[in-house]
């Protein structure tokens, strides 16, 4: 089944919907404070993408494009996407929503890096992500995994 992935706007409705997700934290709180203080406008662009089932936001992820000059993962250094907060609401898991969001990220044709949560390894392997060679200075407490489009390789 094809799901429609939408870029989410920062507004009170979206921030209310985010409360259903487990990984609700500082990023969401700071967006809320910026909205309250008029530092950002209602309906500003957010780094979040999501899928609705009817009017309910059931899956979401954050995507951020990192510029090549900050790249420490690829050879040659290049722009890549950092993906985080991929999450599907419990009743909607296992129905292809997570896969659809990852496919959307892949459609940019850039390498994608993420830090998987414990126990989600099988999902990430299914959608084609592999571990990088661990570099202590670079990765510290992280456990990055990466998806490569054709033509990109690890440093
Ligand atoms: C991990 C998560 C993002 C995956 O999204 P999803 O929409 O449930 O996954 P999909 O339906 O798109 O699954 C894609 C593939 O990965 C597999 N998969 C998904 N979750 C899996 C899991 N926990 N273990 C093993 N395989 C899994 C699916 O079977 C499917 O395989 P298929 O293509 O052969 O049918 C989502 O389940 C989630 O947010 N979970 C929150 C909690 C968490 O991290 N759980 C980890 C497991 S405890």
CATH number at residue 37: 3.40.630.30
Q: Give me the pLDDT at residue 133, please.
A: 85
Q: Give me the pLDDT at residue 1, please.
A: 67
Q: Give me the pLDDT at residue 139, please.
A: 87
In terms of residue numbers, what domain contains 76? 6-147
In a domain, 50, yes or no: yes
In a domain, 1, yes or no: no
Give the chain's mean pLDDT: 93
- Please give the average per-residue pLDDT across 128-139, as a whole number: 90
In a domain, 58, yes or no: yes
Query: Which ligand 1 atom sits closest to the C-alpha of 100?
Result: 12
Mutate to test the pocket of ligand 1, among 22, 23, 24, 94 (most ligand atoms within 8 A of CB): 94
In a domain, 155, yes or no: no
* CA–CA dist 112, 108 (Å, integer): 10
Closest CA to 146 of 93, 88, 91, 80: 80
Q: What percent of the chain has pLDDT over 70?
A: 97
In a domain, 154, yes or no: no
- 24 CA → ligand 1 middle, Å: 19
The count of domains in the chain is 1
């Amino acid at each position: 089944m094809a799901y429609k992935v939408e870029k989410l706007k920062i507004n009170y409705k979206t921030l209310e919907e985010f409360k259903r997700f487990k990984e609700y934290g500082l990023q969401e709180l700071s967006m809320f404070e910026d909205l309250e203080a008029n530092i950002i406008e209602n309906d500003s662009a957010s780094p979040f993408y999501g899928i609705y089932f009817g009017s309910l936001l059931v899956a979401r992820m954050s995507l951020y494009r990192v510029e090549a000059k900050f790249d420490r993962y690829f050879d040659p250094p290049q722009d890549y996407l950092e993906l985080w907060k991929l999450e599907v609401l419990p009743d909607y898991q296992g129905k292809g929503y997570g896969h659809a969001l990852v496919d959307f990220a892949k459609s940019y044709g850039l390498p994608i890096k993420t830090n998987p949560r414990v126990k989600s390894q099988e999902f990430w392997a299914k959608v084609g992500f592999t571990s990088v060679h661990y570099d202590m200075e670079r990765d510290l407490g992280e456990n990055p995994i990466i998806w490569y489009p054709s033509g990109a390789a690890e440093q």
